[in-house]
Chain A
Amino acid sequence: MRYDNPNLREMLAAEYVLGTLHGAARRRYEALRNTRRDWQQSTDWWASRINLLGLTVTSVNPAAKVWRGIENRLFANGKSGFNWWRALALGSSSLAIALAIFIASNLLKAPAPPVFINSPATVALLANDEAKPGWILSLGKTRSGKTEMRVTALASIAKAPGKSFELWVLPADKSKPISLGLLPKQGNGTVHVADKVAPMLANGGLAVSLEPEGGSPTGQPTGAVLYQGKLTQI
């Protein structure tokens, strides 16, 4: 029988792993691999050789934010045992909201990048205890449907050399804070929001903690909470 021809099997396995088998040929191959042990073994043999090609590339260190993104996606809901949100008085400062509306309405006059859809406009102003604003956030979606926040650091933020400001969402159900990533110390930045976390933004609070450079090492806030705010639709 044709499918018992080891040479044919080996060649199809190699082409399958390499990626030159497409369409019906690929589906036929997968059916055989799933039902026959010898075909599975040939596939494994080739996969462990052909994929060595992937290691012939030059190494490039990814930016630190890539690892933070992985951590956020996997462990943002993790338990740390530190009941941190209770320390926060989440009274929304009406002054902060008023300021947010004022600043955001000015912001919206600037031409928005076409890839960012933030209508209806949802914004937040993060302010400290003295109602001094630190960052303005504008929530929206990218064209591919991912939730993002555009962030602008204001000149008035506290100086913190060697430290990072980390943004957290404080879920309305009082569960543990979830990191949204680091905030820029000056200028503009983008905060990517995981799909799972995005729905929590509507009712949850926002807080900024002071963390070691690169962000909290534990996945939960470790430093003082300096700024707070809440997203508001305007």
Chain B
Amino acid sequence: MATTQLSPADLELLIARTGQGDRRAFESLYKATSAKLFGLCLRILVRRDLAEEALQDAFVNIWHHAAGYRPEKAAVMTWMATIVRNRCLDLLRAAPAEKQLGEDQSFDEWASEDLGPMETAAADSEARVLVECMRQLAPLQRQAIALSYFHGLAHEQLAQQLTQPLGTIKTWIRRGLQVLKNCIGTIN
């Protein structure tokens, strides 16, 4: 299904209609957002079958919870990404341990100096601002935050994964989040 570019206002309208039980609006919402959200599922779960299952579950949830969407709290895409990520992390935790962190799942693209690919992928969305702010962090700080976001890793697991002392990880993350807060605050 091809992705159609819709404005945030279009998406708000679609989600409002979906909340009223409009199936056609729901289908349009799916068409407009599923490619990005499926990309998110694949990034978290890697396995296509699991990613498909997660996307289905998430859209069933979106249908049921659309009426509770509050535009003042978050943009539609961000709200949907939250639901999708939660479902993916649930499935990830339920998967056998050896499948939880594949070799290509180090998220070291976030430790790279070049955040171009993420910036391109985030084009035309608020996420570009976030990528811009991530540039202000040290590479390993970015990687720790990405690992946490895409894998729901706690401090202890991050310390293990990045072979750093627990205290260091905690400080990194906290300082990183502080920088992000200040940065996003100035841009918004």
Q: Which residues of A contact B (CB under 8 A)?
A: 10-11, 14-15, 18-23, 44, 47-67, 69-70, 73-75
Contact = CB atoms under 8 A, between A and B. Distances in A.
A7 to B, nearest CB: 8
B127 A63 contact: no
Interface in B5-42: 23, 27, 30, 34-36, 38-40, 42
Interface in B122-174: 122, 125-127, 129-131, 145-146, 148-150, 152-155, 158, 173-174
Contacts of A59: 3, 35-36, 38-39, 121
Contacts of A49: 130, 180, 184
A62 B52 contact: yes
B130 A52 contact: yes
A183 to B, nearest CB: 19
B59 A70 contact: yes
Given A18-B148, A54-B81, 17 more contacts: A11-B174, A15-B174, A19-B148, A19-B149, A49-B180, A52-B125, A52-B130, A55-B125, A56-B122, A56-B130, A58-B121, A59-B36, A60-B38, A61-B34, A61-B38, A63-B52, A67-B30
Contacts of A15: 173-174, 177
Given A54-B40, A55-B78, A62 B34 contact: yes
Choose among A20, A58, A69 the residue with the greatest number of B CB atoms under 10 Å from its CB.
A20
22 contacts: A11-B177, A15-B174, A18-B148, A19-B153, A22-B154, A23-B154, A48-B73, A51-B81, A52-B122, A55-B77, A55-B122, A56-B127, A56-B131, A57-B36, A58-B117, A58-B121, A59-B3, A59-B121, A62-B52, A66-B55, A67-B30, A74-B63
B97 interface: no
A51 B39 CA distance: 14
A78 to B, nearest CB: 8
Contacts of A74: 60, 63
Contacts of B186: none
Contacts, number: 145
Nearest to B133: A49
Contacts of B154: 19-23
A180 to B, nearest CB: 15
Contacts of A21: 154
Nearest to A61: B35
A10 B60 CA distance: 32
Interface residues of B, number: 60
A19 B126 contact: no
Contacts of B178: 11
A53 B42 CA distance: 14
A48 B74 contact: yes
Choose among A51, A54, A57, A59 the residue with the greatest number of B CB atoms under 10 Å from its CB.
A54
A94 B58 CA distance: 43
Choose among A18, A55, A56 the residue with the greatest number of B CB atoms under 10 Å from its CB.
A56
B74 A66 contact: no
Contacts of A50: 149
A57 B177 contact: no
5 tightest Cβ-Cβ pairs between the two chains A and B: A54-B81, A48-B74, A59-B35, A55-B127, A52-B127
Contact of A48 (B2, B78, B158, B174): B78
Nearest to B75: A48
Nearest to B174: A11
